[in-house]
Amino acid sequence: MKAMASFASTHRASDFDDDGLVAAVGSAPSADDVADRILALPEVAVVQADEASGAPPSSWGDRFFFVGDGRRQPFATIVGHDTAGFDDDFQLDRPGVFRLSIELGREEFQRRFGYPPARFADHRASLDPTVLDEIGPHPVYGTHGWACVLNPVRALAEVDRLLAHAHGRALDRHHRSLRRRQSRD
């Protein structure tokens, strides 16, 4: 199992169950725990896709985190299922597995991964999107400066730093938008 080989370098064999999945997922932060961390940041709103929101059924349950009420561009998302033909490379349909995606922007993406988002296609084939607890470029949105991690545990401190960075960028965009609207009034 390719994902286990990479993940095993940071986890003991006893951390895995018979299927090679992390046995300690129950003690790791859940998607709700990670959502609570994001919601603790100032001015954050969450939209959870469901029938009432008008979202397509394939995205029901997905969470989108925004700064302010404009809700034009999320700075983070949490997804707990695959969408066939779109992101099924992640194998999110494994029990307890979720993906946190974070909008880093070009500069932070390059600092983190060593190449700009525009060069992501050159590196995509070397990525294993099924690996747990490893921050990597988002296989679908990497060209837009997004990163992702499945079930962060050991990566949680770095995830918090990246969330703070993404939140700061979103907060700046929101405040610039407010100033533009106020100057037109």
Over residues 115-151, the pLDDT tens digits come to 999 999 999 999 999 999 999 999 999 999 999 999 9
pLDDT of 16 over the 50 cut: no
Give the model's confidence band at 7: pLDDT under 50 very low, under 70 low, under 90 confident, else very high: very low
Q: Tell me, what's the pLDDT at 27? A: 72
Considering 2-6, 68-72, 126-130, the range whose residues carry the highest mean pLDDT is 126-130
Model confidence at 24: pLDDT above 60: no
CA atoms within 13 A on the CB side of 8: 11
- The percent of residues in the chain predicted with pLDDT above 70, rounded, is 86
What is the overall mean pLDDT for the chain?
86
pTM summary value: 0.84
pLDDT of residue 9: 33
pLDDT, residue 70, reads 74
Say yes or no to pLDDT of 166 above 70.
Answer: yes
Write out the E strands in 28-73: 44-48, 63-67
pLDDT value for 2: 30
- How high is the pLDDT of residue 26? 53
> Can you tell me the distance from the alpha carbon of 149 to that of 29, in angstroms, rounded to the nearest whole number?
13
For the cut 70, the answer to whether the pLDDT of residue 48 exceeds it is yes
| Cβ atoms of residues 98 and 150 within 8 Å | yes
Say if residue 101's pLDDT is above 90. yes
